[in-house]
Chain A
């Protein structure tokens, strides 16, 4: 029983947490990929920027003497979403729109987004330095321990993890409602499916593009803030989180927001299950069978330091067998 709870703590909960983060990032990437038709490499840094905005605002709130039952970064989150979305719009206007207008091929936009990545990275480190920070100021980091009858150890959930669950749920439901009910959401799906056809039916491409950046930027802000609340605020998130997010996007099918959510959780769970030490679960079975086989001390599919290989392998498998992704997106 204790082993099972260890499994829930170490594999399921952390898989869900990292899966939510990937899903929130991948929705933005898949929308940009589907509507603007290029792989947005600066998305990881957009998340970091969001987290830093949250840090600054929360620090200001703490200095002003604001107290709240939840972490201050969560209190200021609406403002963070607005600031990050505006920033995403600004990046589009300054760097991507001129290239789009000039009729540059998609590859040039990808490269421009790499330029933007480097600029954001440089700015973040210039102002914040290379060290990592705590996102908590006055408030303690609450930890909930849930008793399971008949077991000595407890299921452990931290406060930011709970808030992340709630936010992911709300974001997914809201996105579903927006894409399936609202006029703008339907227009976005139409542009993603066929931009020329959408334009001649009178859909304003600029409005759709703007909505894409606002949604992508807002979700990136949530993901970045929640990730740094759960762990710490690090300035060098970008490339390490980019590969799993792209893998999630492609697994889910490009231009498919629901696919991105599924892909995010798939990649997140694969990562945690691949590095999980399965000996913990095998040991009680070995006890039960009276030592019929010996359990090694460490039995994981992938050593922790090679965690990055998991999303890459998923990516390669999908590209070989089903480049459209599980939800039948496009191969652009």
Chain B
């Protein structure tokens, strides 16, 4: 029987922390905090799977969260009749058809090598096919976008149940991860970091600017809830049922991950992480396994992001920021202990509470500084002191990352090493 004393102490401490929050901040607010924390825990489990189990360095968590959240919005938001009645669907259909023909042409150009075409000619044909497809499709899409924005503002959703939306969120995040991983996973981990950083920025730019598809900065709200909303059952009951749902999701994900961790699959993953060459010499397909785990982790991020965004009932692309949705998750994982699922959950819940509570605290602190500075030294604070106070938290996140890496690289709940055999 392994020693669980540390786990018990830490989670008891966490329970006490939440009890204090509930006692001082009011039930409705605390429930909101807890729901968001559990959503973050699902996301953190995804990152812990990628980083702790496989050593994959993903700094584009925000991108996968945003992609998942948007997918879920598209699936579940009520149908926009003005869009379906107009020319938009037909135009989009034609664009999709042209894109499909283009993809076929690119594929055909790649296949010309089989008929004895020299490599440079095949490459040239591929490039030409790519360029023509890109130009034609982007021109078409531009026209379609203008028509849709004029007729119906944006495409609206499909009005399907929320659970389908969450599942689709995971699938889309996974598909994006598959493409990124396919390109980068054969190379050193730094490349994956650079590429994920880039893809996250690009997903955000797309969501912000493609008004016809995402309603852009005009935001989409209210998003449907998977459970009865506040209007029907009251604030606290509604939030409590939502919490029950996300907590169940978290527990299911946790149990599945624990099962995978102890299964031969998990052992193989750790073997690959610890010594890639040895694992490869035992006949393990290193890159394929990494791709698998990268896709799984990103799916969790997508689903977690969807759960988070539905709870807040508003989809705002500018609301996704690196700090809150990438680096905060990183702090959760490395503070809690990479390669330990309970550590990731502890880190997520703990860090989220501290993070949320630190906002009013830092504002209060800087307000104090302003008053005292004025009273004692006649110092006139700049008007934007409040937004500067927020940036102090950026500094603290960075410092936490640097310090944890240096002094406690294992986190508070280190990975459990099997002592068997």
| Residues in chain A within 8 A of chain B (CB atoms) | 33, 38-39, 41, 95, 98-99, 102, 104, 106-108, 110-112, 114-123, 125-127, 129-131, 239-240, 242-243, 246, 250, 301, 303, 305-306, 308-309, 311-312, 315-316, 319-320, 323, 331-332
Contacts and interface: CB of A to CB of B under 8 A. Distances in A.
Contacts of A305: 205, 208-209
A147 B191 CA distance: 46
Interface centre among B322, B399, B405 (most CB of A within 10 A): B405
A43 B44 CA distance: 27
A115 B183 contact: no
A126 B388 contact: yes
Nearest to B390: A125
Nearest to B399: A119
Contact of B193 (A110, A121, A309, A311): A110
B384 interface: yes
Interface in B181-214: 183-184, 187-191, 193-195, 197-199, 201-202, 205-206, 208-209
Contacts of B190: 33, 38-39, 106-107, 110, 332
Nearest to B206: A306
Interface in B373-402: 382, 384, 387-388, 391-402
Given A118-B327, A319-B183, A319-B191, A112 B401 contact: yes
A123 B392 CA distance: 7
A108 B411 CA distance: 13
Interface string B112-147: 000000000000000000000011000000000000
A111 B401 contact: yes
B402 A116 contact: yes
Interface of chain B, main secondary structure: helix
A330 B330 CA distance: 29
A160 to B, nearest CB: 27
Contacts, number: 148
A271 B199 CA distance: 17
Contact of A308 (B57, B187, B201): B201
B198 A119 contact: no
B189 A95 contact: no
7 contacts: A39-B193, A106-B189, A119-B395, A122-B393, A129-B384, A243-B197, A320-B183
The 10 closest A-B pairs by CB, nearest first: A122-B395, A118-B398, A115-B401, A125-B391, A119-B398, A122-B394, A115-B402, A39-B190, A312-B198, A115-B398
Given A130-B384, A312-B199, A107 B401 contact: no
Given A107-B193, A121-B394, 4 more contacts: A111-B57, A115-B402, A120-B398, A243-B198
A125 B388 contact: yes
B209 A112 contact: no
Contacts of B406: 95, 98-99, 102, 112
Nearest to A305: B209
Contacts of A102: 406
Interface residues of B, number: 48
A111 B405 contact: yes
Contacts of B191: 250, 319, 323
B187 A323 contact: yes
A102 B191 CA distance: 23
B187 A331 contact: yes
A316 B395 CA distance: 32
Contacts of B208: 305
Contacts of A114: 59, 327, 330, 398, 401
Contacts of B209: 303, 305-306
B188 A110 contact: no
A284 B103 CA distance: 34
A123 B57 CA distance: 26
Contacts of A98: 406
A107 B384 contact: no
Nearest to B395: A122
A129 B382 contact: yes
A306 B210 CA distance: 10
A110 B393 CA distance: 21
B144 to A, nearest CB: 15
Contact of A316 (B183, B201, B402): B183
A8 B188 CA distance: 40
A331 B405 contact: no
A330 to B, nearest CB: 9
